[in-house]
Amino acid sequence: MNGREALPQKGGGGRREGDSRHVPVMLQRCLDLLAPALQGPEAVVVDCTLGLGGHSEALLTRFPGVRLVALDRDKEALRLSGERLARFGERATLVHAVYDELPAVLDRLGIARVQGVLFDLGVSSMQLDEAGRGFAYAQDAPLDMRMDQSTGISAAEVLNTYPAGELVRILRAYGEEKQAKRIVAAIVREREKEPFTNSARLVELIRDALPQAAKRTGGNPAKRTFQALRIEVNGELAVLERAIPAAVKALDVGGRIAVLSYHSLEDRLVKQVLATGAASSAPPGLPVVPERYQPRLKLLTRGAELPTEEEIAENRRAAPARLRGAERIRQDVE
């Protein structure tokens, strides 16, 4: 899990509305990657994962001519960020949407092309630190995990209703959990006695189900199961699979995209889309490569860039971050 904007831990680390001390992950590097594309007087940048608005605020501040379109599926995040960004007036347009809805959002706003796109994937600090959301395995809470609490099924419903085989698939595919069968067998036994409602019971069950060797490495033994449930509840990988190509397509020539991922499944998808866009699609052996086969992207990062030790020390939730960037160098040829 990520914490897109980490809360200060001093004084109990409690969240305060409008707290300006939130620390967006790899902020300076994201701004530097996008900067060459955002110098024009009518540049549009899209923050596809608004969260608490730290990256958006920095974009609006550093690039005074830019217009921001920011998306989030979480209505509470939109409310808090709306307060934070109110001083920018009409320069900021906040939209309740999932980020794979980007083409429809831009179409409604009458925007044909954008100059910058930022994704900061995963769970925001607000979602992690609101106990009632059920994202964090470190505290007892209702097993919800919906980023948009107005729609969809909860993690509790997934645990209580999915067939055992489907639960095993989810834990293996989305959590890369080697002990998936053992954990699911325990879940099925327990849910027959009483349905799951809260996170503490699930965490305890996972601890009891795993062999000692599996509990000695990799941090909290529940984290992979919680990641898998969160991805399933929110359809994260399916959404991302649609969203990254759509964002690339929306970029103007010279436009740039920056994507922060927090686990290998996300990063693999992002890498694949950007690498494919940066490669020629021509059949081998052509003496001259036609325009339609030329690369559409130029990679801006060598592999995935990591946060510095200093940033991780300041913001522990930045540790798993992986940043990739690319520039649009050609439009699609129809």
User: What does the pLDDT look like over 57-97, one tens digit per residue?
Assistant: 999 999 999 999 999 998 888 999 999 999 999 999 999 99
Whether the per-residue pLDDT at 138 is higher than 70: the answer is no
3 within 8 A of 15, measured Cβ to Cβ: no
State yes or no: 137 annotated in a binding site: no
Q: What is the predicted pLDDT for the residue at 218?
A: 62
Q: What is the predicted pLDDT for the residue at 20?
A: 38
262 inside domain: yes
Strand partners, 299: 326
303 inside domain: yes
Q: For residue range 3-33, list pLDDT tens digits in order.
A: 444 332 222 333 333 333 467 899 999 999 9
59 inside domain: yes
Angle between helices 236-250 and 264-277 (to 10 degrees): 30
Of the candidates 16, 206, 25, the one whose C-alpha atom is nearest the C-alpha of residue 129 is: 16
State yes or no: 120 annotated in a binding site: yes
Q: What is the predicted pLDDT for the residue at 12?
A: 31
Measured CA angle at 4 (ends 264, 51), to 5 deg: 120
Quick one: 230 and 277 in the same domain? no
**Mean pLDDT, residues 118-122:** 91
Quick one: 121 and 261 in the same domain? yes
Per the structure, the count of domains in the chain is 2
132 inside domain: no
Domain boundary among 218, 234, 250: 234
Give percent helix, percent strand, percent coil of the chain, each to the nearest 5: 50, 15, 35
119 inside domain: yes
Quick one: 18 and 46 in the same domain? yes
187 inside domain: yes
Quick one: 274 and 246 in the same domain? yes
State yes or no: 72 annotated in a binding site: yes
State yes or no: 53 annotated in a binding site: yes
Q: For residue range 243-292, list pLDDT tens digits in order.
A: 999 999 999 999 999 999 999 999 999 999 999 999 987 778 777 777 77
Quick one: 284 and 302 in the same domain? yes
User: pTM to 2 decimals?
Assistant: 0.84
Quick one: 114 and 159 in the same domain? no
Quick one: 214 and 317 in the same domain? no
Q: How far is CA 79 from CA 27, 62, 286, in A?
A: 22, 23, 54
Quick one: 187 and 199 in the same domain? yes
d(CA 304, CA 211): 34
333 inside domain: no
d(CA 234, CA 52): 19
State yes or no: 127 annotated in a binding site: yes
Identify the domain containing residue 69 by its residue range: 5-126+236-328
- Helix H or strand E encompassing 69: strand 67-72
